[in-house]
Amino acid sequence: MCGIAGILDLNSGRAPARAELEAMIGTLHHRGPDGYGYFQEGPCGLAHARLSIIDLSGGWQPIHNETSDVWVILNGEIFNYIELRAELEGRGHRFYTRSDTEVIVHLYESFGEDFVDRLNGQFAIALYDTRARRLILARDRVGIRPLFYAEHGGRIAFASEVKALFALPEVPRELDRRGVAQVFYLWSCTEPLTPFRGVHALAPGTMLIVESDGRRRERRYWDWDFPPEPVRASRGAADLAEELRALLIDSIRLQLRADVPVGAYLSGGLDSAIITALTRDYTRSPLRTFSIGFEDPEFDERAFQSEMAAHLGTIHSSVLCTAEDIGREFPRVVWHCESPIVRTAPTPLMLLSRSVRDAGFRVVLTGEGADETFGGYDIFKEAKVRRFWARNPASPWRPALLERLYPYLRHSPAASRGFARKFYGQGLDHVAAPDFAHLPRWKTTQRAWQLFSPGMRAALAGYDPAGTLLSRLPDRSVRWPGLGRDQWVEAHTLLSGYLLSSQGDRVAMASSIEGRFPFLDHRVIEFANALPPHLKIRGLTEKYLLRRSVEGLVPERIRRRTKQPYRAPDSASFFRADASLGYVEELLRPARVRESGLFDSAAVERLAGKCREGKAIGFSDNMAFVGVLSTLLLEEMFVRAPRCAGMPGPASWLGASRRQAHA
């Protein structure tokens, strides 16, 4: 894991100044604290911040081929590099390091831009061919590692994080209203849009190729796909479960490759339990596991975490996260996430990654991705019930099935039959619509648009975030099963834009920790996508085949446990009777809210008052408040703060805000 940055000058043809590259990569020190590397030739400059995991002494980047005319920098890991190296050496290629990165330049020599199809990994890549003067940017299939770019004055700048782009004076710092609005609808921005005007995100599974004459093209080399007639439909569940287990073991075997110890997250749920149980048999030392716990029993899963750790005999530690911790650390989370966020859930995960670093680890395996891949979320079960209900809308008992969902919620949206019928009944006459599963959820989030200022609402007139996303669905999606369309939308919104970013890469790399995701091996995803829906959700049992594949591997209480999504206390974290958070009061001042031009100060004041009194108990109010606060923090730290090399960061701004609040 590392940070990458670079510049391609399409106008002057001169190499970017070393000082520019140093300024960019200096903002990414948290991603690569072990040292920097640079390349400058012709119109291109590359910079790399290293977190040493493979080939600790020799894997310094940028890395080149035998003739030093192809150069590459990598953020992430190529897990099948050993097999690729053997194949390439058989073709006559010579290696000068033991690193995974070096296979990329030799694959490019042999296969051109198709090199990316051969990679099994999680990566953001910048490759420069000095002979052709061609720049290639590539991102892994599901979007585990980030990659941003901006073009100004004939120069294309790119980096792992936006703050590195802002180290260049020509890149303006301004929020993009449509990007902000997308977060307040879809929970995330859909690539290439970002919360910053003029800053673009490379989409997962995509390459950007820039030729010497400035011509550029994007190539989508991979996407989620769902055969209309699943190829595995004729095979028995027992046979498929055995194949799935073998595939997961191989994914974990590859992802354990590292020259440093590898730990694992243990959440208390099925997914992390599977990864941990399978990992235990492939480590040479006692497995180290890490988890997060909460004071509030509604969020706390420590009992299940302890049960699994005891069952496996791991060396286990848990971090207790309080509401005070969330309120205190939230600005730092926004600084690293570089986006408005509508939940506080990334904050405890940042504290968890800090505990991993303090324990001397740099790599952890996680269970993320199983729900998207095998149909684990309540939204998929909701959609199944709603499709069943839509076949007989007058039925009094079909919608009652929704009451079996959300047993873990103190205030379940399905508890009131009247509310449930109104909420989940939305769109019943459009069962084939690609947003059928997500429409009720999106409408709830979009209520926060009522907090936007008149000017913001005017700027968004006629704008449809969902339509922008759904227009990218391939034509063949009309032949997919309904669950397949639901999964595609989930993968292109919540997974890549939020879970793998704000709850994944960003908060882990804040502590220089690399997360690895065995369930997101593209071979596992392609296996799951070819399954018939009833092997993912059987009745209302989610992840049916996955559960069956691990019989005898994890305790039955955990194997049969209903999915409980990871959550954290939201607005209550910012208003406590025994403490006052100066930055919250400062940002929510009516005058300060008006200055942003984004929100209606009176509406925000009413919402803040409701949260301050502890009356915000529903998802809508909590998400709206967290979204407003994080957006104002984002603007304060990235737009309003004085520009300086390296950017000021949250610590300097928080110090100033505290002084202002208590003056």
Predicted confidence band of residue 619 (pLDDT cuts 50, 70, 90):
confident
Please state, rounded to an integer, the average pLDDT across all residues of the chain: 91
What are the pLDDT digits (tens) for 131-169? 999 999 999 999 999 999 999 989 999 999 999 999 999
pLDDT, residue 138, reads 98
What letter represents residue 462's amino acid? G
3-state secondary structure 83-143: HHHHHHHHCCCCCCCCCCCHHHHHHHHHHHHHHHHHCCEEEEEEEEECCCCEEEEEECCCC
pLDDT, residue 296, reads 86
Predicted confidence band of residue 471 (pLDDT cuts 50, 70, 90):
very high
pLDDT, residue 419, reads 64
pLDDT, residue 161, reads 98
For 393-464, where are the alpha helices, taking DSSP H only?
417-424, 439-446, 454-459
Q: Is the pLDDT of residue 278 over 80?
A: yes
Question: Which value, in Å, is the radius of gyration of the alpha carbons in the chain?
Answer: 24
Q: Is the pLDDT of residue 538 over 60?
A: yes
What are the pLDDT digits (tens) for 346-403? 999 999 999 999 999 999 999 999 999 999 998 999 999 889 898 888 888 887 777 7
Half-sphere CA count of 348, side-chain side, radius 13 A: 26
pLDDT, residue 105, reads 98
Lowest-pLDDT choice from 35-49, 343-357, 450-464, 572-586: 572-586
Return the closest-CA partner of residue 179 out of 187, 171, 169, 168.
187
Return the closest-CA partner of residue 314 out of 278, 349, 348, 358.
278
Answer yes or no: 2 catalytic: yes
pLDDT, residue 659, reads 41
What are the pLDDT digits (tens) for 396-445? 888 777 777 766 555 556 556 666 676 777 778 888 899 999 988 888 88
Return the closest-CA partner of residue 260 out of 53, 81, 75.
53
Predicted confidence band of residue 656 (pLDDT cuts 50, 70, 90):
very low
Most confident of 286-290, 633-637, 643-647: 633-637
Q: Which long-range contacts (CB under 8 A, 24 or more apart) does 12-20 make?
A: 12/43, 12/154, 13/42, 13/43, 14/43, 15/40, 15/41, 15/42, 15/43, 15/44, 15/45, 16/40, 16/44, 16/45, 16/155, 17/45, 18/45, 20/45, 20/167, 20/168
DSSP 11: S
Percent of the chain whose pLDDT exceeds 70: 93
Predicted confidence band of residue 658 (pLDDT cuts 50, 70, 90):
very low
pLDDT, residue 401, reads 79
Return the closest-CA partner of residue 271 out of 348, 365, 368, 407.
368
pLDDT, residue 663, reads 35
pLDDT, residue 361, reads 95
Predicted confidence band of residue 651 (pLDDT cuts 50, 70, 90):
low
Q: In this structure, are residues 158 and 6 in contact, taking their beta carbons and an 8 Å threshold?
A: yes
Q: Is the pLDDT of residue 73 over 90?
A: yes
Q: Which position has the higher pLDDT, 40 or 280? A: 40
Most confident of 237-246, 385-394, 572-581: 237-246
pLDDT, residue 662, reads 38
pLDDT, residue 187, reads 92
Q: Is the pLDDT of residue 329 over 70?
A: yes
Give 407: exposed, middle or buried? Use CB within 10 Å, 0-12, 13-18, 19+: exposed
**Dihedral over Cα of 188, 193, 194, 195: its sign:** negative
Q: Is the pLDDT of residue 652 over 70?
A: no
Which of 2, 44, 189, 611 is catalytic? The answer is 2
What are the pLDDT digits (tens) for 482-521? 999 999 999 999 999 999 999 999 999 999 999 999 999 9
Give the pair of three-digit tokens for residue 64: 């080149």
Domain annotation for the chain: domains and CATH numbers: 2-220 (3.60.20.10), 237-373+493-559 (3.40.50.620), 571-661 (no CATH)
Q: Is the pLDDT of residue 647 over 80?
A: no
Alpha carbon distance 471, 455 (integer Å)? 27
pLDDT, residue 661, reads 38
